[in-house]
Amino acid sequence: MAYNLPPLPYDYGALEPHIDTETMQIHHDKHHATYVKNLNAAVEKFPELKDVGIVDLNKSIGTSKIPSDVATAVRNNGGGHLNHSFFWQVMGKSSDNNGPSSDLKAAIDSAFGSLDELKTKFNAAAAGRFGSGWAWVVVKSDGNLAVTSTPNQDNPLFSGAEVAGVPILGLDVWEHAYYLKYRNLRPEYISAFWKVVNWETVNNYYSAGKKGSFSIEPSRS
C-alpha cells in the first residue's frame, strides 16, 4: 500500500495571523507531499516495507530492518512524513487553545517547574537547533517529560535518538516553515507557535504517551 498525504485538519488560513496562509499551502501541498512521494518511491523496491505503518517504519529507522540501499531515503522522507502528519495535528485555531490538562500540567510542573519554564526550554531548543530540524516535548520511558531537538527530519522515535520518547508536541524549524512571514526571525515564529498549539490534541498524546503508545497513521491506498 502507498503512503498518502493527509489533509490538513483545518483551513489553510486557520492559523492566521500567527502562521500565514501561503506558508501553510506551500508547506503542506509541496513540502509534505514531496516527502510522501519520495517515501513511496524508496519503499517500492522493498516489498517488506510497503505494508509497514509510518510509526513502525520510523521506529525501525537506524536499525537493520531498513535495507541499507534506502536507509537514507527512508530516514529523510519517512521522518518527514511522520513529523509533518504530527505537526498539523498539534496546531489549531487560537480560540481552541485551552492549555494543558490538569494531568499534563502536573507533569510539566514536575519536570520543568512551570509551563513558562517548559516554554523557555522548548524555545531555546528550537532557536538553538543549527540549520534545519525540530524541537520536541516527549514522554520518556520512565514517564517523565523532556525537551529535545533533532536535526533534519529525525524524531525521538528513531532507534538511537539522543533523547528517545513518545512525542506529544513538536515544532518544525526548517526555514520553509516560517521564512515567508518571519524571514530570518526564527524566535518570533517560535513565540507565535504557542498561540496555535492545540492543547486538546497534546493532552491526548500525553495520555497515550504515558502508556508508551503513539499513533499517527495517515490513510494508505
Taking the CB of residue 141, how many other CB atoms lie within 10 A of it? Answer: 10
- Kindly provide the residue ranges of all beta strands, DSSP E only, lying in 71-213, ordered along the sequence: 133-139, 145-151, 166-172
Secondary structure (3-state) at 13: coil
CATH number at residue 106: 3.55.40.20
Same-domain check for residues 76 and 115 = no
Same-domain check for residues 137 and 185 = yes
**Is position 176 annotated in a ligand binding site?**
yes
Structural domain range at position 45 = 21-89
For residue 8, tell me if it sits in a domain: no
**Which residue in 133, 220, 207 sits closest to 171, CA to CA?**
133
Same-domain check for residues 122 and 149 = yes
Same-domain check for residues 27 and 63 = yes
Give the model's pLDDT for residue 217.
Answer: 65
Same-domain check for residues 104 and 200 = yes
**Is position 84 annotated in a ligand binding site?**
yes
Give the model's pLDDT for residue 1.
Answer: 80
**Is position 31 annotated in a ligand binding site?**
no
pLDDT digits (tens, 9 = 90+) for 136-168: 999 999 999 999 999 999 999 999 999 999 999
Give the model's pLDDT for residue 95.
Answer: 72
Give the model's pLDDT for residue 214.
Answer: 96
The model's pTM is 0.96
**Is position 27 annotated in a ligand binding site?**
yes
Cβ(216)–Cβ(57) below 8 Å: no
For residue 13, tell me if it sits in a domain: no
For residue 1, tell me if it sits in a domain: no
Final residue in a domain of this structure, among 89, 109, 125: 89
Supply the DSSP symbol for 76.
H
Q: For each of the chain's 221 residues, which pLDDT tens digit applies? A: 899 999 999 999 999 999 999 999 999 999 999 999 999 999 998 989 988 999 999 999 999 999 999 999 999 999 999 999 999 999 998 876 789 999 999 999 999 999 999 999 999 999 999 999 999 999 999 999 999 999 999 999 999 999 999 999 999 999 999 999 999 999 999 999 999 999 999 999 999 999 999 998 666 55
**Which residue in 77, 70, 67, 75 sits closest to 38, CA to CA?**
77
Same-domain check for residues 135 and 197 = yes
Separation CA 29–CA 36 (nearest Å): 11
Beta strands 145-151; 166-172: pairing state: unpaired
Same-domain check for residues 148 and 78 = no
